[in-house]
Structure 1
Amino acid sequence: MKHPVDVHVGKRIRHRRWMVGMTQQQLADSVGIKFQQIQKYETGMNRVSASRLWDISRTLGVSIGFFFEGLSDENPDRGVDPDLLANKEAMELVRAYYAIPEAQRRRLFDLARVLSDAA
């Protein structure tokens, strides 16, 4: 049975890999494993060891903590909304957002927050 934390970490791996435009094969090659293992990590079917998570985090350019963001101590299976990570439009929007230079991105973020508060 899949543990909710393993599923969450796998979704965060997939999310970040997609954000940087990397294929499963490229990530696997970078950390020295087969792409099928990346598939198993991303679905939560296999648990990612600490050393492998370290390698993946370095390859994807994030801290190890990134993979645990959004987890709740009280209910680990209520982390990042799985529908958000599965929604291609939302993911494309996030990718486009991070392609914007930081100063402009901050202004866009402030505008989005004002618009959402007004809605």
Structure 2
Amino acid sequence: MTHPVDVHVGKKIRQRRWLTGMTQQQLAEQVGIKFQQIQKYETGANRVSASRLWDISDALDVPVSFFFEGLENDKDGGGTQSVPSDIMGDKEALDLIRSYYAIPENQRRRLFELARVLSDVA
């Protein structure tokens, strides 16, 4: 049986890998393992050792603590009522975030304000 912490860490690995545009194969090569092992980490099927998590954090250019962010929220279901608790596991949401950050900053601010206004109306 998978442990909730292993599942959470795996989701954070997948989230960061995807946001950086890296494939499982590319991450595996940087860490020195097979891509199947990355798959197992991302699903929580295999537990990531401390040293391997260190290597993964280096490859993904985040601190090790990144993989534990939001863990407190996962204990009780996490998230708010209007946002699914696994929002970062949703490919559409990740596509939206990636596209959003590809927009020039001044236009991004305007889009953000528009989204805020639209969400207040809904």
- The TM-score with structure 2 as length reference comes to 0.80
Which of 84, 99, 102 aligns to 2:102? It is: 99
Unaligned runs of 5+ in 1: none
User: RMSD value over aligned CA atoms?
Assistant: 2.2
Residue 60 of structure 1: how far off its partner (Å): 1.0
2:92 aligns with 89
Write the letter of the residue equivalent to 2:119: S
In 2 relative to 1, CA 79–55 (structure 1 residues): closer, same or farther, beyond 3 Å? farther
Structure showing greater Rg: 2
**Partner SS, residue 21 of structure 2:** coil
Write the letter of the residue equivalent to 2:34: K
* Distance in 2 between residues matched to 1:86 and 1:113, nearest whole Å: 23
Identity across matched positions, percent: 72
* Distance in 2 between residues matched to 1:16 and 1:39, nearest whole Å: 14
Give a deviation string over 1:40-91, Cα, whole Å, max 9, x none.
Answer: 1000011111111111111112122221122217x53635622x23432211
Residue 98 of structure 1: how far off its partner (Å): 2.5
Write the letter of the residue equivalent to 1:25: Q
- The TM-score with structure 1 as length reference comes to 0.82
Residue 110 of structure 1: how far off its partner (Å): 4.2
Residue 4 of structure 1: how far off its partner (Å): 0.5
2:36 aligns with 36
